[in-house]
Amino acid sequence: MIAHLFNAPIGDDETAVGVGTVGSSEAIMLAGLAFKRKWQNKMKAAGKPYDKPNIVTGANVQVCWEKFARYFEVELKEVKLREGYYVMDPEKAAEMVDENTICVAAILGSTLNGEFEDVKMLNDLLAAKNAETGWDTPIHVDAASGGFIAPFIYPELEWDFRLPLVKSINVSGHKYGLVYAGVGWVIWRSKEDLPDELIFHINYLGADQPTFTLNFSKGSSQIIAQYYQLIRLGFEGYKDVMQNCRDNATVLREGIEKMGYFDVVSKDSGVPLVAFSLKDTSKYTVFEVAESLRRFGWIVPAYTMPADAEHVAVMRVVIREDFSRSLAERLIADLGKTMADMDAHAGKKAGHDHPAKKSVHEIEKEVTTFWKRLVAKKKSSMVC
């Protein structure tokens, strides 16, 4: 079902394989291992050295890629970021590729700002480079979050097995797959993309059982829950949930933008989340804002961006299925109150009168007006 969702070849060409894992981290270890082994076999057969494999990613990768690189002894070559551009630049990634590159890993839904990387452009650039050099550098897509979002609400976006160089994809069942923690998936485009020697066959459970996981025993409840959600909600159900998340993210984004204090660094499309930085960091930081917001019961992470954008610090709110519109409204109001307090406090600290940019009352009024307009818009589009 998941291979089909990701547009794996069907019909006579249909040989996609996959495995359930504890999460995307294990899925990525396995996918990385398959690329490494395939590359080694190819180099051995060509009589070339095979002791210096590398992998190309953006500096925005999730920590599991760093783990893979360190645990499995593959050099991690990271494309640096810059202020205002927080994902892997496909051109720079293609430039970094050499004969020892086992794959380029692209992210569908960056952990830092939710942005989808341009996998299609990467595919085209790499295809040209492969044609020129005679290499066959493949692509892995880390779709931990985006894999259960894009197929439903951005179906035209080409990021998956529709692109010929995409050989494997991972997704977290416990993120937008809507299952409780402990399930991920990795899918290979075809049997040929998963070296047979990595698969162990055991028969002591009564029949031939192929296994390719790091762990052996684990509970089946996650698999059952994933299966249940897929058949219970169906394509339309997942689509509704994802659309709703996106709508709530839009409400939150617009409310935060209207306050005037923040630059939003997440995109309209991508993972439904809002990441934002302070326009003016001279009086206080996002770390202090996050700390102050805790009074209202909100725990919003604040963090710095990776190399070379470390000087940018952001806060991030990820919208899940259970983050309702009224919660979004409340967060906007509470953030507004927090900012008014921060200003008043910063004014006092500086020893002169420094009035808040907007009063709490003003912000609340704006949020309510904005909200009412949005509901009216939604209603009129529903009538159509």
If binding is defined by CB under 6 A, does position 222 make contact with ligand PLP?
A: no
**Chain centre to alpha carbon of residue 214:** 23
Residue 337 DSSP symbol? H
Distance CA 164, CA 261 (A): 44
**Closest distance between ligand PLP and the C-beta of residue 146, in Å?**
8
Q: What angle do CA 38, 44, 48 make, to 5 degrees?
A: 120
Contacts of ligand PLP in 127-146 (CB under 6 A):
142, 144-145
If binding is defined by CB under 6 A, does position 23 make contact with ligand PLP?
A: yes
Structure tokens that stand for 285 in this block: 């930081």
- According to the 3-state scheme, what is the secondary structure of 309-326? CCCCEEEEEECCCCCCHH
Q: Which is nearer to ligand PLP, 32 or 184 (CB)?
A: 184
Stretch that binds ligand PLP, among 19-27, 152-160, 185-193, 376-384 (CB under 6 A): 19-27
Residue 13 DSSP symbol? G
Q: What angle do CA 198, 203, 206 make, to 5 degrees?
A: 145
If binding is defined by CB under 6 A, does position 114 make contact with ligand PLP?
A: no
Give yes or no for a cis peptide into 308 (omega within 30° of 0).
Answer: yes
**Closest distance between ligand PLP and the C-beta of residue 23, in Å?**
3
Residues 83-122 as b/e (b if ≥16 CB within 10 A, e otherwise) read eeebbbbbeebbebbeebbbbbbbbbbbbbbbbbbbbbeb
- Which residue do the tokens 């930085």 mark? 277
**Closest distance between ligand PLP and the C-beta of residue 125, in Å?**
21
**Closest distance between ligand PLP and the C-beta of residue 170, in Å?**
7
- State the residue number with the nearest CB to ligand PLP: 23
Q: Which is nearer to ligand PLP, 241 or 278 (CB)?
A: 241
Site size for ligand PLP (CB under 6 A): 13
If binding is defined by CB under 6 A, does position 25 make contact with ligand PLP?
A: yes
If binding is defined by CB under 6 A, does position 336 make contact with ligand PLP?
A: no
**In the set 54, 100, 111, 229, which binds ligand PLP (CB under 6 A)?**
111
Stretch that binds ligand PLP, among 17-25, 226-234, 254-262, 363-371 (CB under 6 A): 17-25
If binding is defined by CB under 6 A, does position 184 make contact with ligand PLP?
A: yes
Distance CA 64, CA 30 (A): 12
Rg of the chain taking only CA atoms, in angstroms = 23
Distance CA 329, CA 341 (A): 19
Q: Which is nearer to ligand PLP, 172 or 277 (CB)?
A: 172
Q: Which is nearer to ligand PLP, 169 or 356 (CB)?
A: 169
Site string for ligand PLP, 27-66 (x = CB under 6 A): -----------------------------------x-x--
Q: Where along the sequence are the contacts to ligand PLP (CB under 6 A)? A: 23-25, 62, 64, 107, 109, 111, 142, 144-145, 172, 184
